[in-house]
């Protein structure tokens, strides 16, 4: 009897969850988020296949990799500090080129 009651409660709770998820669009939003992440991954892969033709292009590629892969703007685990450093170097070189 207790098992039957527990199963009924689980079914009722799931039905409430499903109704609330539909009402707020949770499942639709979750699906859209997953699709967007897959699209971002595909675009990053495509970007890595195209050679950069300028410092700005190199900076854009590094920035895209940094933004897609980094969990925190201040992540100290490799390769994130090195990528940020390379981006800073490119910005510095571009600035020197502009002011020269």
Q: Where are the alpha helices (DSSP H) in the chain?
A: 2-24, 26-49, 55-69, 80-99
pTM value is 0.62
Cα–Cα dist 35/78, whole Å: 28
- Read off the pLDDT of residues 38-53 as tens digits, 9 standing for 90 and up: 999 999 999 999 999 9
Question: Could you tell me the residue ranges of all domains in the chain?
Answer: 1-50, 52-100
Q: Is the pLDDT of residue 12 over 90?
A: yes
């Amino acid at each position: 009897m207790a098992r039957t009651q527990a199963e009924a409660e689980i079914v009722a709770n799931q039905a409430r969850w499903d109704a609330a998820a539909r009402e707020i669009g949770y499942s639709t939003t979750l699906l859209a988020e997953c699709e967007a992440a897959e699209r971002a991954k595909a675009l990053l892969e495509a970007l890595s296949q195209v050679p950069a033709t300028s410092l700005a292009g190199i900076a854009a590629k590094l920035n895209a990799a940094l933004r897609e892969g980094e969990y925190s703007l201040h992540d100290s685990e490799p390769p994130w500090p090195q990528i940020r450093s390379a981006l800073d170097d490119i910005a510095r070189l571009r600035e020197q080129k502009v002011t020269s």
